[in-house]
A and B are shown apart, each in its own frame.
Chain A
């Protein structure tokens, strides 16, 4: 069942998170968000960070991307300490899309290449490829406000992919979308990923989403954020929506829910 020939290479760590801690606020009433988190992500693994809201999973992802700095610990990418710095092949997709309202779809997607200093003709050509990949060719000259939420997030994904990252970081990318759009975009993401495998870290609070997309799920408990469980997802690829009604899928979903429930206070 775990047979997955092109799956993650467990001998080659792409990313190592070593003893990351982070607190917000002043001494005295500081709120510990992440408490000594360590994990290893192999090359080409699709990893889901799963947890209830407020468990620090987004903060962890932002620290991995380098846009936030940890109070303690290191982020090691391809054997190099990259703590607190961005770039080096990391591409980030944000939860509320964070497109630039003043740029067209084309120019939004080309942003990463533009700040990297790529020439105009070349970066627009590259951007068009990725806009095509997410099916928005007809909208390349539209502004973000003219697009639906799902389309905006497609642009967000194309923008991250356009820099050809070796590791793709996705921060609850479908959290702001309705269920139908979310399902469609999950399938689209799997399709893209099958064509262009990369290491992916995908933050979500949806058990089903994590099970459907990921090779491995790291469950994080809230306040302070700690790794509660590390689960290998046993489904072969390519995957299709049918596995969502597979008994194994349903059993895993139930188990993870039992686990999460303990940490959730409504």
Chain B
């Protein structure tokens, strides 16, 4: 009971500090929550925010799903095959440490500023995290679990689907969650470059003398990211009830 109160107290303190800082700095630098709340209702009423958000998220989702569909199997193959690891690991290691924002100017030359740019940026900034997380999971599969499969005469495909994939399930879930956060971040970065979509909206709000709407847009982004993560966790719990329980028991 008292535990559940702590986050609420944290949020309240944060709002309090923000309110005090906003009052002393003025709305042109940092709008206090009381003003942001008012501006936020206005943003909702105008409808631009949610419409642009939905369009941007749709493009992000394409890049993100492609990153999962390609990255997860690639990670498993790299984790279980020395040849695949040798060939792909240098590439993954190079790209995962490179800021996607730094690659955007080059990508604009290749792809222009349209749909494909945003999908590609979301994909590139997500796929390597998905690969590496899955890779680590696949490498860590206990050899004896695979031996059980062989002992009972399971074929290679059966071992893959019935043992490897469920064994790395926690890693797949983590990969999906980390990936989603990266994809949403990349979406905004790409849109700030070419001033379209939700990122474009943020850019324009930044030019205005009022910070209320800008903070409102950032707030929405936070809510969307947290909500997405929450949904993925819920899906994870639904798909694998044993995993969450097992963690509770062993902790």
Contacts and interface: CB of A to CB of B under 8 A. Distances in A.
Interface in B78-127: none
A96 to B, nearest CB: 7
B145 A98 contact: yes
A94 interface: yes
A90 B166 CA distance: 25
Contact of A86 (B144, B153, B240, B250): B153
B163 interface: yes
Interface in B179-215: none
A75 to B, nearest CB: 14
Instruction: Give the residue among A62, A94, A100, A114 with the most B Cβ atoms within 10 A.
Output: A100
Contacts of B162: 111, 114-115
A94 to B, nearest CB: 6
Interface in B198-251: 240, 242-243, 245-246, 249-250
B240 A115 contact: no
B240 A102 contact: yes
A145 to B, nearest CB: 4
Given A86-B153, A116-B153, A102 B147 contact: no
A62 B240 CA distance: 31
Contacts of A146: 245, 249
Given A86-B152, A100-B166, A145 B145 contact: no
Nearest to B166: A102
B46 interface: no
B150 A86 contact: yes
B231 to A, nearest CB: 21
Interface in B120-148: 142, 144-145, 147-148
Contacts of B34: none
Given A102-B242, A143-B242, A146-B249, A67 B147 contact: yes
B149 interface: yes
B154 interface: yes
Given A94-B144, A100-B163, A102-B166, A115 B242 contact: no
Nearest to A113: B152
A28 B166 CA distance: 40
Interface in A159-215: 163
A145 B246 contact: yes
Nearest to B239: A102
A258 B147 CA distance: 35
Contacts of B240: 102
A259 interface: no
Contacts of B166: 100, 102
Contact of B150 (A67, A100, A114): A67
A90 B145 CA distance: 17
A5 to B, nearest CB: 33
Interface residues of B, number: 25
A44 interface: no
Instruction: Give the residue among A67, A96, A102, A116 with the most B Cβ atoms within 10 A.
Output: A102
Interface in A60-114: 62, 65-67, 86-87, 90, 92, 94, 96, 98, 100-102, 111-112, 114
Interface string B157-169: 0100011001101
A96 B144 contact: yes
A145 B244 CA distance: 11
A115 B245 CA distance: 27
A238 B151 CA distance: 30
Contacts of A94: 144, 147-148
Contacts of B144: 94, 96, 98
Contacts of A143: 242, 245-246
B67 to A, nearest CB: 25
Given A86-B152, A94-B148, A115-B158, A101 B246 contact: yes
A112 B152 contact: yes
A66 B142 CA distance: 18
B154 A101 contact: no
Contacts of B151: 65-67, 86, 90, 92
A86 B153 CA distance: 6
Contacts of A111: 148, 152, 162
A93 to B, nearest CB: 10
Contacts of A96: 144
Q: Which 8 A-B pairs have the closest CB atoms?
A: A87-B153, A112-B152, A115-B154, A102-B166, A143-B242, A145-B246, A92-B151, A67-B147
Interface of A: 62, 65-67, 86-87, 90, 92, 94, 96, 98, 100-102, 111-112, 114-116, 143, 145-146, 163
Given A100-B167, A115-B155, 6 more contacts: A86-B152, A98-B145, A100-B145, A102-B169, A115-B152, A163-B152
Interface of B: 142, 144-145, 147-155, 158, 162-163, 166-167, 169, 240, 242-243, 245-246, 249-250
